[in-house]
Structure 1
Amino acid sequence: MKRINIGFLFPLLALVILVYALSQPMFVAPPLGKLLDPFVGAVQNEDERRLGAKELTIPVHQLKAPVQVYFDERKVPHIHAQNTEDLYFAQGYITAFFRLWQMDFGSYAAAGRLSEIFSKKEFLEYDRTQRRLGIAEAAKHSLELIEANPETSTAVNAYTKGVNAYIQQLHYRDLPLEYKLLGYEPEPWTNLKSALIMKNIANKMSGYEEDLYMSKMILALGEDRFNQLFPEYYAQSTPVMNISRPQNVPAAAVKTPSYLNYAFLSANSVITESAWNPRLGSNSWAVSGKKTKSGFPILANDPHLNLSLPNVWMEMQLTAPGMNVYGVSMPGTPAVIIGFNENIAWGITNGADDVKDWYKLKISPDYKKYELDSNWSDLQVRREAIRRRGLPVFYDTVYSSVHGPIVYNKSFPGKDSDMVDMALRWELHRPSNEFLTFIQLNKAAGYEDYKNAIRHFQCPLQNFTFASKDNNIAINHQGSMPVKWPGQGRFILDGTSRTHLYTRYIPADSLPQLLNPACNYVQSANQRPTYGNYAYYYNGHYSETRANRIEQLLSTTQQLDISYMEKIQLDNVNAFAVEALPLLLSKVKSSELNAAQQQQLASLKTWNGSYEYGSTTAKLYDLWWWNTRNFTWDEFRNYRFYVRPPEDEVLLKLIRTDPGNTFFDKQGTVRKEDAADIITDAFIAAAMDVDKARKEGKIQWSDFHKVNLIHLTNLPAFSKMGIPAAGQQEVPNAVSRNWGPSWRMIVELGDRPRAYGILPGGQSGNAAGRYYDNFVDDWNKGRYYPLTFFMTVQEAEKQATSTWKLINR
């Protein structure tokens, strides 16, 4: 009889024992053994047989008719349904297949529930802040509107059923890898989760708030100097509604509010810089067929958001009777958010308006009442139960006034004591139904349909860009814009006076908007929406540089085509640098430079302001201007509440018109510097830093400029880090360290749409799969993919690389 060699059994037995031991949860760590198990663990996430199958039939519940899903070679799903209810069901199912963990995690983050996943103390603070900001409450109130509307109720209900149909089919081996790593499982999807996703995007896009900082600045500087250094308008502005330029743009000087003084505010606190990125924005423009080679309109859009893996967007086509739309959706919500159909195309940029106002309250010592118009009103109280992983439930008490929630109080003071007992009034809190905007846009046939669709969009304020194949182009600054007095909302408001509560909103017909202008194009890049002669006051944090460059490129060229639109989206020229450089060169004292520095200065004289991948000059200018700014505004660092200096346009004007201004006199030096001294010192420091970097092998812009696509868990293994790239935050190709063009799209409308696009990521959320980040390199190199828009089912059947069929069991 043949003897059995049992030697191989020992390593196998050891593996079995190890897997069993590690499969038992230790404290709150994930069961590592299950993760390593080759039959159900992480390796199973590499199984993409379903995506690779030529044909696949998937049994589900609750469909009225079968749904066909056609995948192209990039695994973009083209969903064809016989009715819209089945269409949204299939969208929910397919999105969950690709991105379940991402959308689920996003709903936890929005609701302030991360402590249920992570046990660290920092997440409890995050959850308390989210709850106190009222994002979950706002989602609940908006959901009442959403579910009361038949159109959005049908869509959201069907989407939720589709997500849950996918979840119900999952076994542990099929779970996205993040669930296994973090040791938890998906819970059923709900309509509220979809509402939370939408509200959290509104939170990220409407985070601008400098009320306290501006309040302290106007007290510290005085009215005249404050208006000089922090003006509402700039002469070089190219507003969204770029018509009827007034002869003399009003200075729009603000007055110090009568109630605002050091008794009203504490003058010694340190203001914490907001996590909101004021440069988060987008580019979008539409060009009439009168200005294109084809005679058809072209629309381009590239929203600038945090660059993450998985990507914030998912590409798809949705087709049902009365609707055939292509674009990107937001995982967790129904419909296409940015895209096109056979008749129209639309894009979105952030309006950048201030929609968050803080009110300083007077509250009774027992925290039961607050003063309003010399009367005492009851504070509203809400109890929040925050579940924590491996720890007892934490109960938090949230107080609210007629103004809104009191985010910080004595039990949760935050990082700035001056924000304690202030109430937040935020347009996000008002119930709204943004889902209806996108559902109606998806099937819009022309301008009137577009206008009717966007009127439902309230927060955050956005610039909607539009084009239709009948050659209409338009742009609308859309959302809730309160009627305010000049300066209202720019500073902390007095919560004891009802007169500080605005009650009216700018009528829809009076919101900034533009239809078919004589120049034959419209454009938005987060600049101020109007000139200073607009009938209503508003404020925000606007960016002019990208808009100025796009305006230059659109206005000086005729016979535009898709190729030229790509060049604009990928343009790396900083319009501000082009304007500033000649002035800096004229002011620098070259006699104070050594020979090497003279050569470096000479290289800047031929620089065209472009932050190209291989530029050997861009970093030198970047440091030069950075130093000039820091050396000039060094006095500001004396303020304990200092957050940011005046805008660059203010400094450039000061150099040009008032070079002897006292701000140019550096602190701690014997001599009295002027603008030329500051500029010269700044250049010498920049030249030394560049020389040092070159000795370390850093020569071109891409050696300094690296892009990080970070996974939502911050795990390096799931991220792509340190990618050398072109671009810069102030150029149209606004690629920065961890944010930038999250989706590039160009659409030419006509007999059939011609479209190109790309996103930095992939279709799948599976970090172990081939479709997770397969677009990244092409995105970084400025390449575009043709967007395969199937006009008919027959086209889809002929061109699809694989097909799924969803049927009832």
Structure 2
Amino acid sequence: MRQKRQADGVRKRSGWAVAGRGALGVTAALLLSLGGAAGWLHVSASPQRGGTAELEGLSGRVTVTRDAWGVPHIRAATDADAVFALGFTHWQDRAWQMDFQRRVAQGRLAEVLGGAALPQDRFLRTWGFERAAEAALPALSAQSRALIRAYTAGVNAAQAQGKVALEFRILGHTPEPWRDVDSVSWSKLMAFDLGGNYEEEVLGAQVVRRLGEDGLDQVMAPYPQGAPTILSADELTGAAQSLTGGARAGTDGPQAAAPGLPHATVQALRSHLLAARTLGLQAVPGKGSNDWVIAGRRTASGKPILADDPHLALTAPMLWYLADVRGDRLRAIGASIPGLPAIVIGRNDRVAWGVTNVNPDVQDLYIEPEDAPLTSRREVIRVKGEADVTLTVRSSAHGPIISDAGAGAVGPRVALKWTALQGGDTTMDAFLGLNYAQTWADFTGALRSYVAPSQNFVYADVDGNTGYYAPGRIPIRSGWDGSLPVSGDGSREWQGFIPFEELPHTLNPADGLVVTANNRVVPGSYPHLLGNDRNWAEPYRARRITDLLGAAGKLTVPDVQRVQLDTTSLVWADLKGPLLATRPGSDRARQALAQLHGWDGNETTGSVPATLFEAWLMQLQEMARDELGNDTVMNSLSVLNQLRGNGELCAVNGNGDCQALLTRTLDAALNDLERRLGPDMKGWTYGQLHTVASNHRAFGRVKALAWLFNHSAPTPGGTNTVNVARPEHGTFRQTHGASYRQIVDLATPNRSVYIGSLGQDGHPLGAHAADQQPRWIAGQYLPMSTDPADWGRTRQLTLTPRP
């Protein structure tokens, strides 16, 4: 009984993540006290991975050969059967993840996790992710709908086998059958995770209220003049000439008459951000990804090399699921997402592609006039062990009212307009189409269907072509830049979307290189406004990648691997001047400055200077907190601008300057490190604090279970290094990073490589639950090969139609 009471107490302190008294307490006690119980649960939940299974819904025989790392290589006579088998393996290995993801999209977490999940459900129901998915499904092509149906049949065939994920056992939960719309709904959450302009508008409203519009550039530094853009002016010639007169739409400055928002309304808007962050969405400022494509004239093989590493939340199980899927026409290998019937990032026999986030401004907050007509709908949220909760969601012509929790709320009514919530979203057509692309024309033809979230797609094919496209619905604004909330009186409306032909793109660029790192996409000569100058990630990763690739001569796959894994900080290179000029306030501060002198900026796990730098930078990033609140974290470029210009944010309550701030923050960082690591600075190695936190989204903060589900290890890299590993503010944990890496060699595609951040198996005791993580940390890869000779030890399951 003591163990049960302890587990329940931990659960209550852990927030929304887990609720429900009976199943969790009993199972936690068993797992804590009986080592054999965990093993029995693993065996009883293990899916069938060998032999033969007769399944309803197949038209012919399919083989699923799992390689030495648990990656399935699916071979079928038809594409429908191949996608059926993908759904089957997804549910076998990631049933909990799939069910959790769709419940997030539906806003139905409280049904399973209890009342502590109500803030998340309110946020999810108010925004209407599931409703948007339901509206998108009928807009898809007949081919896409047929493949989705096949995928759904495969998921439900796996579910019918009766193997139950450990999480379902702990919570006493029986999942519902999979539906076609469930394969669309998670893409809506991905669009939210990668479309953070809403958050920037809320912060912008706070800044303007406290500091005026001049404060925007201080707190959110604009993209520097002369910093690298993805495309050059020469590569934009076609798009610019396609516009009559070449007039630029929008404006580079914030709208001059943005309506103010009272503090209570800002806090109501921020409640959605807090709910999203609890779900692991939009939690890291400046998060992003890298991808690039290198033309054959710059490689040793004479054929292109394409690289990609999307930076997303690092969870257990990992987001991605590596797979090799081959039917009659479908022949794709790479990273899939459980729940989606396609390879999202990868290659087929002729074409390779990679993606990073464009982050254009596709969201706007509208302050609706008092006489604006509103509609309302009633949402009933079921709560495990408690009474149902009724939520009234109001909407205007622009979208859902997100500033209140029902019709009785007071204050300005703020509506959200967002491309991903509008009808006719055919993004799933695009991703499925990419799997079939054989040429640049096929590739761009598929991207015509792309809506959200807008991505930087890099392209290469076996014929030697390379290219880039930034597809998606990007609004055209006239006379305003979308950086702040605006009036909903009709004076600030979208003027359609940028035509597909005029979106940024290039084929076979003259310099043979396209590098994207969430940096600004286009120079000022581009005729449309993709977003304001504060939309883009700081240019450090883009600059470092370009420099390394340019200095390497004829490039090989190992050269590209070294670039992906680079942990040298250009942020340190920029900040070292002001930091090293700091007046030390103690002998300990002098010792720290001595450690930093001569440091090359390489953030390895054994480095003491890396620890000192990141801890000091964290303190400096808080310089706007007395103006904007205790959760405001400025990016490193904003910090640099303040230090170089002796900016007003360096002052504390109007007193002091940047030199005083540097002295004070260095002492604060050292106090923090001593509290965490002890008094001996020589032992403050980076890896002691900076550890990857691949945590379970339901049980990750429940001490009775976290040891079983979470995975942690020291990792290199830091703020804006190419191998991005930004320490979480206040904890130093790495919660986001290169969730997947791939390098595709178009000279010999089966010599390509890839790796995930954790492992294939969703069961925490599975052989492949975390076997990729040591390789991922060490900078090693798996063979991205369709050749059985490269698969190592295998196990084959044969799927046959049920008579």
TM superposition score normalised by structure 2:
0.85
2 CA distance for matches of 1:593 and 1:747? 52
Q: Structure 2: which amino acid aligns with 1:142? A: A
Query: Can you list the C-alpha shifts for 1:211-259, whole angstroms capped at 9, x where unaligned?
Result: 233134235434445456645431252122244599xx9997525533x
Distance 1:471 1:424, change over 3 A: same
Indicate the SS of the match to 1:548: helix
Aligned to 1:505: 497
Aligned to 2:244: none
Distance 1:574 1:329, change over 3 A: same
Contact persistence 1:473–1:515 (CA under 8 A): yes
Indicate the SS of the match to 2:474: coil
Distance 1:457 1:413, change over 3 A: farther
Aligned to 1:257: 256
Distance 1:104 1:603, change over 3 A: same
2 CA distance for matches of 1:618 and 1:251? 42
**What is the deviation of 1:544?**
2.1
**What is the deviation of 1:41?**
8.0
2 CA distance for matches of 1:328 and 1:681? 46
Aligned to 1:46: 42
Aligned to 1:302: 309
Match of 2:636 among 648, 654, 658: 648
Query: Can you list the C-alpha shifts for 1:118-147, whole angstroms capped at 9, x where unaligned?
Result: 222x3122212111101011000001112x
Contact persistence 1:305–1:742 (CA under 8 A): yes
Indicate the SS of the match to 1:272: helix
Determine whether 1:600 maps to 2:596: no
Aligned to 2:15: none
Aligned to 2:270: 272
Contact persistence 1:227–1:253 (CA under 8 A): no
Query: Can you list the C-alpha shifts for 1:70-124, whole angstroms capped at 9, x where unaligned?
Result: 221112111111111111111111111111121011111110011211222x312
Contact persistence 2:455–2:470 (CA under 8 A): yes
Q: Structure 2: which amino acid aligns with 1:206? A: G
Aligned to 1:233: 223
Indicate the SS of the match to 2:443: helix
Aligned to 2:769: 772
Contact persistence 1:708–1:719 (CA under 8 A): no
Query: Can you list the C-alpha shifts for 1:444-492, whole angstroms capped at 9, x where unaligned?
Result: 1121111111221111111111111212112222211100135432111
Aligned to 1:23: none
Determine whether 1:678 maps to 2:661: yes
**What is the deviation of 1:750?**
1.9
Q: Structure 1: which amino acid aligns with 2:183? A: S
Q: Structure 1: which amino acid aligns with 2:632? A: R
Aligned to 1:705: 690
Indicate the SS of the match to 2:125: helix
Determine whether 1:177 maps to 2:166: yes
Aligned to 2:710: 720
Determine whether 1:201 maps to 2:190: yes
Contact persistence 1:245–1:531 (CA under 8 A): no
Contact persistence 1:702–1:724 (CA under 8 A): yes
1 CA distance for matches of 2:446 and 2:75? 23
Aligned to 1:159: 151
Match of 1:348 among 355, 360, 372: 355
Indicate the SS of the match to 1:235: coil
2 CA distance for matches of 1:291 and 1:677? 49
Determine whether 1:433 maps to 2:422: no
Aligned to 1:133: 127
Aligned to 1:761: 758
What are the equivalent positions in structure 2 for 1:120-519 lying under 5 Å apart?
A: 120=115, 122-146=116-140, 149-170=141-162, 174-209=163-198, 210-224=200-214, 226-227=216-217, 230=220, 232-235=222-225, 237-244=227-234, 254-258=253-257, 260-262=258-260, 265=262, 270=267, 272=270, 274=273, 275=277, 276-277=282-283, 278-363=285-370, 370-371=371-372, 377=373, 379-409=374-404, 411=406, 421-430=413-422, 431-495=424-488, 497-519=489-511
Determine whether 1:747 maps to 2:739: no
Matched length:
740
1 CA distance for matches of 2:709 and 2:303? 40
Match of 1:549 among 541, 544, 548: 544
Indicate the SS of the match to 1:402: coil
Contact persistence 2:740–2:757 (CA under 8 A): yes
Indicate the SS of the match to 2:270: coil
Determine whether 1:563 maps to 2:558: yes
Aligned to 1:615: 607
Aligned to 1:638: 627
Aligned to 2:3: none
Aligned to 2:96: 101
Aligned to 1:85: 80
What percentage of aligned pairs have identical amino acids? 28
1 CA distance for matches of 2:331 and 2:94? 23
Contact persistence 1:218–1:256 (CA under 8 A): no
Contact persistence 1:41–1:180 (CA under 8 A): no
Indicate the SS of the match to 2:181: helix
Name the stretch that deviates more: 776-785 or 265-274.
265-274
Indicate the SS of the match to 2:491: helix
2 CA distance for matches of 1:579 and 1:722? 31
2 CA distance for matches of 1:349 and 1:88? 25
2 CA distance for matches of 1:581 and 1:27? 51
**What is the deviation of 1:186?**
1.7
2 CA distance for matches of 1:201 and 1:225? 31
Contact persistence 1:45–1:176 (CA under 8 A): no
Aligned to 1:805: 798
2 CA distance for matches of 1:231 and 1:797? 48
Distance 1:412 1:298, change over 3 A: farther
2 CA distance for matches of 1:721 and 1:169? 29
Indicate the SS of the match to 2:576: helix
Name the stretch that deviates more: 748-757 or 405-414.
405-414
Query: Can you list the C-alpha shifts for 1:580-613, whole angstroms capped at 9, x where unaligned?
Result: 213433x334xx5656544432332211111111
Q: Structure 2: which amino acid aligns with 1:71? A: R
Indicate the SS of the match to 2:376: strand
Indicate the SS of the match to 1:783: coil
Aligned to 2:114: 119
Indicate the SS of the match to 1:405: coil
Indicate the SS of the match to 1:286: strand
1 CA distance for matches of 2:89 and 2:317? 15
TM superposition score normalised by structure 1:
0.85
2 CA distance for matches of 1:753 and 1:454? 25
2 CA distance for matches of 1:130 and 1:509? 34
Q: Structure 2: which amino acid aligns with 1:756? A: V
Distance 1:391 1:584, change over 3 A: closer
Distance 1:762 1:798, change over 3 A: closer
Contact persistence 1:403–1:425 (CA under 8 A): yes
- In the alignment, structure 2 segments of 5+ residues that lack a partner are 1-18, 237-247, 727-733
1 CA distance for matches of 2:767 and 2:195? 35
Distance 1:486 1:284, change over 3 A: farther
Q: Structure 2: which amino acid aligns with 1:92? A: G
